[in-house]
Structure 1
Amino acid sequence: MMDENFFKIRAYVNAARALEMSDIDVNKNTPLSELKKIKGIGTHIAEQIKALAETGSLKLYEDLKNSIPPGLFEMMKIPKLGPKKIKYLYDNLAIASISELEYACIENKLLNLPNFGQKTQENILKGIELINRFKEKFLFASVVEEAQKLHEKIADSPFVIRSSLGGSIRRKNEIVKDIDIVASTDKPQEVMNLFTSVEEAEEVIAKGDTKSSIRLKSQINADIRTVSDSQYPYALHHFTGSKEHNTAMRLMAKKINIKMNEYGLFNDDKLIECKSEEEIFRVFAMDYIPPELRENIGEIEAAKNKKIPKLVDVKDIKGLFHFHTNRSDGNMTLEQACNELKKMGLKYCGVADHSKTASYAGGIRDEDIGSYLDEIDLLNSGIENFKIFKGIESDILSDGNLDYPDEILKKFDFVIIAIHSNFHMSQKLMTERIVRAMSNKHSTILAHPTGRLLLARDPYDVDIIEIIDAALEYKVDLEINASPFRLDLDWRACKY
């Protein structure tokens, strides 16, 4: 955006990657000589890292950031609108915000600009619509750590008896709007004072006797609700949600003459005492429903019939498939990745670098397949107590064919098939395209089946029921991609 020297930009990118991969724990006491030992970090960048570690800020970065209108950074969120075009719009039309850009598009001011035109203008408007739709929403993975730390400060207070995160954070929704905390206390004002004075708070939105709201410096809102300890189980259930789950629970309770709200369960105005959420569910002869399942998509009926599934825990995971190495767009060598996976306690992995069609990601060409497989075999022969399965992520072409011939695909232990282009087909054509790819005898796993990018790209139009039926017919596994930007297939579809 600032027309900096390409090689200077590349040097900083490479240094950041080298630092991320390094075993050195950089802090204010790290000697400059140690930083310079890291391959890819020269004297100048080492000095910048040292200054950042010692002071917590970097003058070069602050000066650069202050020289650019903040609205230009917001414009970077618009899909397919890169820094060069943003700078051109700023220099030539003085567009410095998303709202100014939207107005310019509506007024057709981009039509005659070089490298823009009608289609680009339409795509920009679609991107702005997407941003506005997801405004003030956050990825769970981007805020959960901050939420946990904020809750810990409340939980550690001597004035708090019991506490928990609530709302969409507790339900581990993929996308969250705010942070909710529920706490029991005999000193609500002390808890309110603590909550509204935490260092993370940028603004106190509201401060009451039992409820307060703040905006954190990260721009997410946080709310706290305090209750007496006897009310805590009911309040925790209520403020965990979801609204749909709570409504269904109240209707069920009403059928047996029980009133249910955040203050308790009442039978003819007499409190039914519950000391925990588990006891609330037992009142209705139900299994405990984990927060993650409280979406009113069948969990209440399942709990009545003692059929609540056991949720997968981290300790249940023994291996993983579908990751990339630096042969395509990964950051690590295969050996580095496997060593990290072993440290995590995993027993196996399936490496699946990008295929040749994904040239933007350094996909593996036909002539390089042999060396790719040889590297896996060599590492497999030397690594102990760990198994590497040989895979590839083969692109599904527009006609449903895969981008490698059978004689190459048959060399792999497994083949992941995936769509990375031509997202805007009709539902019929997109579904046929995917089903045809699944029918290939070498197809093992369908990656990110709906193509969504959370808060960035809607799923493509596909008949997911037909896809699941085809997966059963052709014995193709459906991936639940663990990237916090995807989490695709949506877990709710697994119920089918």
Structure 2
Amino acid sequence: MTKDDIANALDEIGTLLALKGENDFKCRAYHAASRTISQLEEDVNKLIAAKRLGSVRGIGEALVEKITTLATTGKLPYLEELRASIPPGLFDILRLPGVGPKKVKALHDALGIDSLAKLKTACEAGEVAKLKGFGEKTAEKMLAGINFLDTVGNRVRFDKGFALGEQLLDRIRTFPGVIRAELCGSLRRRRDTVKDIDIVVSTEPANAAAIMEAFVKLPEVMQVIGQGPTKSSIVAELSLGQSKVVLNADLRVVTDEQFPVAVLHFTGSKEHNIRLRQRAIERGYSLNEYALTGGPKSFADEAAIYKALDLVWVPPELREDTGEIEAAEKNELPELVEVKDIRGVFHNHTTESDGTATLEEMAAAAQELGLEYLGIADHSLSLTIANGLSPTRVKRQWAAIDTLNKKLKGLTIFKGSEVDILEDGSLDFNDELLAGFDYVVASVHTLFALSEEAQTARVCKALSHPAVTMLGHATGRLLLRREGYKLDLDKVLEAAAAHGKMIEINAQPDRLDLDWKYVKRAKALGIPLVINPDAHSTDGLALYPYGVNVARRGWLTKAEVFNTRSAAEVTKELVRRKSVS
């Protein structure tokens, strides 16, 4: 087993023990051991072989025994016994925001609730609200959470689905007889969440059966759903740090002549494909997943198929039937921004607030990524949970940035702050201090339950403040976990346009906020967009490509993304904005 597999098992034990009502100390010990194992720099198997695992802090004799059993056998009877003693539906309830093991146990003990369906029924019947420690508001939040989970189904975030898809694709490309292979579906279109993996492979017909046999025997396979001569389906899993991603994956095998048409079809979307089929019919052709009947016999690539339909090639991210067909007909598709165009990022945190890396470490990581500039935007004073900076600490950080800028070559550090938007729309720092920053990211972190009218007025007022440069994570959503707060986003975008403010595309894979549809709306209003990783670590800095995916889906060009500019251009623009504020 890998260290991630072992860490996942230990974390699961901690959760299972909590669901059984074991004491907090014992539960925390397993969660802590999970974090320790996941962060080991040395190979865990080597530590076991050298009998040095017990020297790792927090790994006592009992844990050494369990970890050794896991690593050497791939199983742990203790974990299997715990799993058998807990209804599996309790883990589903843990997916609800703000619901931990203690609440789940209380629900099970008092009402026999062991599934989301039973919890929903109990909430609707008023039974949960009557329980000690719960109440009507808690029951309402649980019901809202259940309804939200019903809408997202078994989807996973793009970054997790892509990691599994890429791993499967890499393995498939090594199979004997494979000519070409491509990820398709929503992964290729870079949707923010995905529900399955689609892969198309080309080969000679004689090789198809062997490729399918190799596919269903991959190490990632949890279950084989179906195996046939042209299509096989599996359930696949991959450990990512301390989490697992599980998705259905379909492999389709075609001839190399059919490959371009198959890749086009299985990339989708459904709406885009319908429009293509309509164009084919209008030209006397018939387009299906394998061929364009009545037209050219073969195609070198997708571009040739689009050309046969009197269109220029449409990038996969735009294939949503939101005007791309009309633009492709007129050869007016935008030249989309690319990852290589990003020259710096602004929304980043250090150990001064809730980051895990120092100013110097973040600067070194930015240089390693080849960035020209780095904005430091630690939290403001009122966000105490994130160790927000006082004015005194802000000025001390400014001095540290000045000192570091004198030493650095090829990297400029800008002084920023992620300033909280308070309930009345005012900002967390006074105007005098705000004037000292190079830029200000204004964000909502509290009072998510305000009415839509109050929340909208709050954000719009903040955008009218002269010191604000950009709005951070506009809706506060957490993908598959929490809907954004109630907000009239159209009014917010109009306020940003009226006051000349930028809007952030937050590249955190669990945010991707602004959503691409509103990115397109912001583009129409002439609002500059800025792609930020919202980095809380050195690794977090490298997340900005996920924001580029959103920008591309929102039809943005390089010129429409602020941080494609050079450090000198950015400096000039930030100074200009301050001078007119």
TM-score normalised to structure 2 length: 0.77
Per-residue CA shift, 1:265-314, capped at 9, x if unaligned?
23xx3544322111112223432211111111122222222232233333
Shift, 1:486, TM fit: 0.8
Task: Name the SS of the counterpart of 1:110 in structure 2.
Answer: coil
Q: Which runs of 5+ in 2 are unaligned?
A: 1-17, 238-244, 522-581
Give the match for residue 228 of structure 1: 255
Correspondent of 2:221 among 196, 201, 204: 201
Relative to 1, partners in 2 of residues 1:42 and 1:200: Cα closer, same or farther, differing over 3 Å? closer
Q: Single out whichever of 5-14 and 458-467 deviates more from structure 2.
A: 5-14
The answer to whether structure 1 residue 466 and structure 2 residue 491 are counterparts is: yes
Partner of 1:29: 46
The whole-number CA distance in structure 1 between the counterparts of 2:22 and 2:417 is 37
Q: Is structure 2 residue 381 aligned with structure 1 residue 356? A: yes
Determine helix, strand or coil for the equivalent of 1:315: helix
Aligned AA for 1:433?
R
Q: Distance in 1 between matches of 2:58 and 2:494?
A: 55
Paired with 2:167 and 2:504, the residues of 1 have a C-alpha distance of 31
1:239 Cα deviation after fit: 0.6
Superposed, 1:245-324 pairs within 5 Å as 245-266=272-293, 269-324=294-349
2:158 aligns with 140
Match status 1:77 vs 2:95:
yes
Tell me by how many angstroms 1:10 deviates. 6.6
Q: How many residues are treated as equivalent by the alignment?
A: 491
Alignment partner, residue 189 of structure 1: 209
Render the CA deviation track for 1:94-130: whole Å, top value 9, x for unaligned.
Answer: 4333233223223322222222111111111111111
What's the TM-score once normalised by structure 1's chain length? 0.89
Aligned partners of 2:439, 2:179: CA distance in 1, in Å? 52
Query: What is the match of residue 243 of structure 1?
Result: 270
2:232 to 194, 212, 230: 212
Structure 1: gaps of 5 or more residues = none
Partner deviation per Cα, 1:179-211 (whole Å, 9 max, x = no partner): 001112223222222222222222221222211
State how far apart, in whole Å, the 1-side matches of 2:382 and 2:28 are. Answer: 25
Task: Answer whether contact 2:470 2:503 (CA < 8 A) is retained.
Answer: yes
- Structure 1, residues 136-191: CA drift from partner, whole Å, max 9, x if none? 11111112111111122222222222221111111111111100011122232222
- Equivalent residue number for residue 113 of structure 1: 131
If asked which structure has higher relative contact order (CA below 8 Å, sep 6+), I would say: 2
Q: Any conservation in 2 of the 1:206–1:212 contact (CA below 8 Å)? A: yes
* Cα separation, 2, equivalents of 1:340 and 1:53: 33
CA distance in 1, matches of 2:382, 2:464: 20
SS at match of 1:326: coil
Q: Aligned partners of 2:395 and 2:55: how far apart in 1?
A: 34
Q: Which residue of 1 aligns with 2:567?
A: none
CA contact (8 A) 1:321 1:350 kept: yes
What is the aligned-residue identity percentage? 41
Q: Which amino acid aligns with 2:371?
A: L
Give 1 or 2: higher helix fraction: 2
Which residue of 1 is the match for residue 465 of structure 2? 440
Q: Distance in 2 between matches of 1:311 and 1:163?
A: 24
> Is the Cα–Cα contact under 8 Å of residues 287 and 303 in structure 1 kept in the other structure?
yes
Distance 1:27 1:386, change over 3 A: farther
CA deviation vs aligned residue, 1:289-346 (integer Å, no higher than 9, x gap):
1111111112222222223223333322222111222222222222222222222222
SS at match of 1:29: helix
Point out the more displaced range, 369-378 or 204-213: 369-378
Q: Partner of 2:179: helix, strand, or coil?
A: strand
Amino acid at match of 1:492: K
Would the aligned equivalents of 1:180 and 1:222 in 2 still touch at CA under 8 Å? yes
* Counterpart position of 2:565: none
The one-letter amino acid paired with 1:305 is K
Question: What's the counterpart of residue 505 of structure 2?
Answer: 480
2:506 is paired with a residue of what secondary structure? coil
Output the CA distance in 2 between the equivalents of 1:464 and 1:25: 48
Alpha-carbon separation, structure 2, partners of 1:471 and 1:34: 58
| Residues 30 and 50 in structure 1, CA contact (< 8 A), matched pair in contact too | no
